[in-house]
Amino acid sequence: MIADELFPVVLAGRVALCIECKTVTRAPIPVRWIQSTSGPGTTLYACPDHAVKLGAGPTPEDEISTR
């Protein structure tokens, strides 16, 4: 084992993988929400550069409640 395997880099704060460029961004913007049939949904994020191109998709707050 090498030191990098024993002590992985831990990023502080809120970070996410951009769905367009596949890089880690420290300023993630939610652009899509995928509903799951067997548990909570998944939010997909984009970096600020690609968020404008992708546009905002539905988020859990956009869901219309039928109750």
Predicted TM-score (pTM) of the model is 0.64
Rounded to an integer, what distance in angstroms lies between the CA atom of residue 14 and that of residue 39? Answer: 23
pLDDT, residue 41, reads: 85
Contact by Cβ (8 Å): 11, 39: no
Segments of the chain scoring below 70 in pLDDT: 1, 8-12, 56-67
The domain limits of the chain are 3-62
Task: Identify the pLDDT of residue 23.
Answer: 92
Per-residue confidence (pLDDT) for residue 63, from 0 to 100: 63
Three-state helix/strand/coil letters over 13-37: CCCEEECCCCCEECCCEEEEEECCC
Distance of CA 13 to the CA centre of its chain: 14
